[in-house]
Amino acid sequence: MDLCTIKGTKILSKYKLKPSVSVMIELPEAVAFSKQINETLVGKKIRHALKGQNPHKFAFPEKGTKQLGAEYSDEDFARILTGKSITKSWSSGNVILVEMDTDYLLSLGCGGEKIVYHETERTIPKKHQLLLTFEDDTFLSVTISGWGEVRLLKTEDLERHPHIGYDKIDPLSAEFTFEAFERLIEEIGENRKRNAKRFFISEPGFRGIGNGVIQDIFFLARIHPRREMRSLSKEERRLLYETTRIELQKMVDLGGRDSEKDLFDTWGGYKRRLHGKVVDEPCPVCETPIVKEQFGGGSIYFCPSCQKVE
């Protein structure tokens, strides 16, 4: 799992709670949010920042800890952000970064979060974890479901951000070549087990990849989520690599998956093939009913005929 999912899951089990989130912001949605923030919010000046209107247990950083940004109280948030303008946004994995006057960053995403731009106060949700009011009487609200980031940090501290996953490859970067992919498979070691799901989301894992986007990637590459990575033939490795690149790029180009809403509260344009609503429905390729199982901390969906375990 990505870093904030690992932390989120730990907190939920500490409080003996079941995750209420079925969908999460992953790489494609983070890219889409940053693009929309650049197009819509850059240049807007913050008149007022309200954090903690509805305190959320699973907002990162956790209060009272030594985590980066935990030193800022709700009052600090208001004081630091007031008068600042949004200068740019970018994403890294599933973390959305919003730069304020170049010296501070607001870190969002990294979980289940609604980040919505409002042209009028009528659409602002009753409960939220952050509300920015801009000088032109428009707004940005952030509401966490499950867990997510509402973190303030100094731009110079970005390399200390705990949830970006600097040690993981960004699967859409030039660095992620087929050779790099094969090297990661070889690094698993002769006698070690490493199924496809675990390989993609945690060991080694790819930046911003979680249990959501892998479902369609594995389906299209005809790889079962439980499949041992080392057992993949050269052709299977090639197909899985290319499918990963192509489908992730499609998800980005279409503004995220249709399970997630964007900055304008609109569903993403990428139509998922495998998800909760197609369980027991015929596979679009071979008509075998689609199966759902719990595996590796979350649901997996697959076609038992197209995606063989061995």
289 near Zn ion, rule: CB under 5 A:
no
Residue 285 beta carbon to Zn ion: minimum distance, rounded to whole angstroms? 4
Nearest to 25 by CA among 263, 275, 287, 198: 263
Q: Among residues 49 and 303, whose Cβ is nearest to Zn ion?
A: 303
Tell the smallest beta-carbon distance from residue 223 to Zn ion (Å): 13
Q: What are phi and psi of 127, to 5 degrees?
A: -110, 135
Nearest-approach distance from CB 192 to Zn ion, in angstroms: 29
- Residue 308 found at the interface with Zn ion (CB under 5 A): no
**Residue span 248-287 as binding mask against Zn ion, x where in contact by CB under 5 A, dash where not:** -----------------------------------x-xx-
**Phi and psi angles of residue 42, each rounded to the nearest 5 degrees, phi first:** -60, 135
Binding span for Zn ion by CB under 5 A among 46-54, 150-158, 173-181, 301-309: 301-309
- Please provide residue 147's backbone torsions phi and psi, each rounded to the nearest 5 degrees: -150, 165
Site string for Zn ion, 79-98 (x = CB under 5 A): --------------------
Kindly report the backbone phi and psi dihedral angles of residue 275, in degrees, each rounded to the nearest multiple of 5, phi listed first. -165, 180
CB of 293 to Zn ion, least distance (A): 16
What span, in angstroms and rounded, lies between the C-alpha atoms of 105 and 94? 15
Number of residue whose CB is nearest Zn ion: 283
Residues that bind Zn ion (rule: CB under 5 A) add up to a total of 7
Q: Which is nearer to Zn ion, 114 or 222 (CB)?
A: 222
Taking the least distance from each CB to Zn ion, the nearer of 1 and 306 is: 306
Buried b (16+ CB within 10 A) or exposed e, 8-24: bbebbeeeeeebebebb
Note the maximum CA span of the chain: 61
Cβ 268 to Zn ion, closest distance in Å?
25
- Provide the H-helix boundaries in 151-213: 178-186, 196-201
Q: What share of the chain is helix, strand, coil (3-state, %, to 5)?
A: 30, 25, 45
Strands 95-100 and 104-109: antiparallel
Task: For CA atoms 18, 23, 24, 26, give the dihedral sign.
Answer: positive
Task: Find the part of the chain contacting Zn ion (CB under 5 A) among 87-95, 97-105, 204-212, 288-296.
Answer: 288-296
Binding span for Zn ion by CB under 5 A among 15-23, 178-186, 231-239, 302-310: 302-310
Q: Which is nearer to Zn ion, 159 or 310 (CB)?
A: 310
- Which residues make up the interface to Zn ion (CB under 5 A)? 283, 285-286, 288, 303, 305-306
